Amino acid sequence: MLWDPGTMACILLLKFFLLLTLAATSQGNRLGPTSRLRYSRFLDPSNVIFLRWDFDLKTEVIVFELQVRTAGWVGVGTTNRYTIVGGDLVIGGVLPDGNVYFSDQHLVDEDTLEEDGSQDAELLGLTEDDTYTTMRFSRPFRSCDPHDQDITSDTMRVLTAYGLDDTLKLRRERTFVKSIFLLQIFHPDDLDFPMDTMIHDLEITDFLIPEDDTTYACTFLPLPIVSEKHHIFKFEPKLIDHNESMVHHILVYACGNASTLPTGINECYGFDPAFSLCSQIIVGWAVGGLSYQFPDEVGISIGTPLDPQWIRLEVHYSNFHNLPGVYDSSGIRLYYTTHLRKYDMGVLQLGVLTFPIHFLPPGAESFMSYGLCKTEKFEEMNGAPVPDMKVIGYLLHTHLAGRALQTVQYRNGRQLRTICKDDAYDFNLQETRDLPGDVEIKPGDELLIECNYQTLDRDSMTFGGTSTLNEMCLVFLFYYPRNNISSCLGYPDISHVVQELGEEAAESPMDNLMVMNNVEWTPENIKTAEKACKEARQTVMLKTIDVRVPQITPSQTGAGEWDGVEKRYVGILSVASVETTRTVESERASLDKQAELSSENRQNGELALKPEAQTMSTKFTSTSTDQQLSANALWNQALVCNDISLSGDFSKSFS
């Protein structure tokens, strides 16, 4: 039967609207009163409050289901970093006669609730049984109500509270705030595993946590021994009960396939440089994080001649209460399979070089630090052509002063995109996050890491370093296909900053930092220093995973003997090519002035600093004299690894 064009158009239009209706119905069911919600978390230390949630990015609607072990009222909402006053809270409960009450409210003070003028939450279900009160509702990401906070992809402070009866009164012992990535893309609950999934634990065994504020404990462990290629597809922290608050982060670094590595457990960045070998992070977990499963197309390769056989496990402990006699066996659990994914995954470390040359002035409401990565030398350092890198996820990392981070991509002098960011960063929640879609990085692109800090609670300078009381500005990008570059870190010309502050610049970067200790840090000087850091030329340091790992024979002192460690300069590239030779020589002279590698210390693996450099390193690390990772270990890493420095005009990244 033939249809005329008008009838055919009507039929097609009817089918189109039918498909839209079915799609809307399907979406409604997914976030409906009885649908399964993909994400969940306990929100209090006693596991009394359990939150499930799900969201739709297209319709910008989020659904919460709060289940609390109480016969009284329950509430959930969001608040800001500093106070719960002004936070929004959706409350509900079931009266003794079976009637329900439900309301969108906000906190007038820490004890009092007030109903919003605009009710923007829609009740989907509210029940009470002998054990739980359960409330499910939806709300838009954004509303016109000034008392409602927007739901964003930043870290959200989720506010929860409950009562023992139906009297709406806040009690501090039943009010909690927990940081969560509500709009997370990664690891929904109960993901399927391959049938042949195997488990391998990497852990520190019975380690006595020192009574110091900060300890970086390292040990070398083998990866799973397999006869053919496998892929690691998931990892999760393995924490010991009652020690969770002392474990700040756990990192797994891939090592070159050396015949012998140190044994035992030692300080990662102390006076035995053997324990700071290996710089390629393959797995990272930090406080507040959960498990992480890679997307279906990528995995970490193990079992081939090109893959690492050993790793360095680093556990960062924060024992602020100086507790004695605490033993720990924390680590990382790996899940791996013979069901290979399409691509091998790599991790690229970006940001500001972790060294005292990274500084924060005291008393700053906001202070920005910048670390530049120029990828134009990736192919030379990689030893082979570097294909486009497709970024699938990221992990952000600062210490206590950090407030926000972002990674901005530039191409041919123009800003291309912001790859990742968090404007509400929380030190207590650091975990790997997936991107909504792959982001492509091409050779020649520039990546700028921006970190925002607040130091209102500090009356002295804060410097870059490994202690929790020092600072870092790092972003780890998870990407495929893997190449040989492990890190790309930048730091500004500190002499330019000193000059902009009206001080006389010294030759040595460390001397310039001494000068900055004498600066009166007024709001004007803070902004001047921030602007100078942004405009200063940056030196960019690249590292590859193929660091020459020496053969180390363990000794009674733990230092061991190094076989053939050598200082190697790959080169320095200036923006103006006519300056290249002079820049290389001046940089070599600067580095040699900071550190000398004597023949005696070459054998035991130590990088001997001149006395003045040793004194400076003590001043610019943590206030704890027991934790002096100093220029010794950091310069050692910078010199013995295959590094290349690129002097670039940082201001051009912003044109």
Do 137 and 123 contact (CB within 8 A), yes or no?
Answer: yes
Q: What is the pLDDT of residue 632?
A: 31
Residue 567 main-chain phi, psi, to 5 deg: -85, 130
| Lowest-confidence pick of 29-38, 97-106, 250-259, 553-562 | 553-562
Per-residue pLDDT reduced to its tens digit, 129-144 = 999 999 999 999 999 8
pLDDT score for 341:
94
E runs forming strands in 470-576: 474-480, 485-492, 538-544, 569-573
Angstrom CA distances, 150 to 40, 158, 428, stand at 20, 12, 21
Mean pLDDT of 155-179: 94
In 412-484, beta strands by DSSP E? 414-422, 433-441, 446-453, 462-463, 474-480
What's the pLDDT at 201? 97
In sequence order, which residues have a C-beta less than 8 Å from that of residue 269 and are 6 or more positions away? Answer: 216, 275, 276, 466, 629, 633, 634
Cα angle, residue 207 at apex, residues 202 and 213 outer, rounded to 5°: 110
Q: How far apart are CA 372 and CA 392, in angstroms?
A: 20
Calculate mean pLDDT across residues 377-405: 93
**In the predicted model, what is the mean pLDDT of residues 423-446?**
90
Q: Mean per-residue pLDDT for 443-464?
A: 96
Residue 534: the pLDDT is 95
Task: State the chain's mean pLDDT as an integer.
Answer: 78
pLDDT band at 53 (very low <50, low <70, confident <90, very high): very high
The residue ranges of every structural domain in the chain are 39-180, 185-344, 569-654
The model's confidence at residue 158, banded by pLDDT at 50, 70 and 90, is very high
Most confident of 62-66, 213-217, 484-488: 62-66
Q: How confident is the model at residue 639 (pLDDT cuts 50, 70, 90)?
A: very low
Assign 258 a pLDDT band (cuts: 50, 70, 90). Answer: low
pTM of the model: 0.73
Contacts for 465 with CB less than 8 Å, ≥ 6 apart = 354, 355, 356, 471, 472, 620, 621, 622, 629
Residue 278 is predicted with a pLDDT of: 76
pLDDT of 41 higher than 50:
yes
Beta-carbon contacts of 23 under 8 Å, excluding residues fewer than 6 positions away, are none
For residue 577, give the DSSP letter.
G
Q: Which of 216, 253, 425, 479 is catalytic?
A: 216
What average pLDDT score do residues 377-383 get?
Answer: 91
Cis omega (within 30 of 0) for bond into 481: yes
Calculate mean pLDDT across residues 500-507: 91
Q: How far apart are CA 177 and CA 159, in angstroms?
A: 5
Residue 19: predicted pLDDT:
42
Name residues whose C-beta falls within 8 Å of residue 304's C-beta, 6 or more positions apart in sequence: 229
User: Among the options 106, 147, 230, 397, which is catalytic?
Assistant: 397
Q: Is CATH 3.40.50.300 correct for 185-344?
A: no
Say what the pLDDT of residue 29 is.
58
Residue 397 known to be catalytic: yes
pLDDT for position 191? 56
Determine the CATH number of domain 39-180. Answer: 2.60.40.1210
Q: Say whether 185-344 and 39-180 share the same fold.
A: no
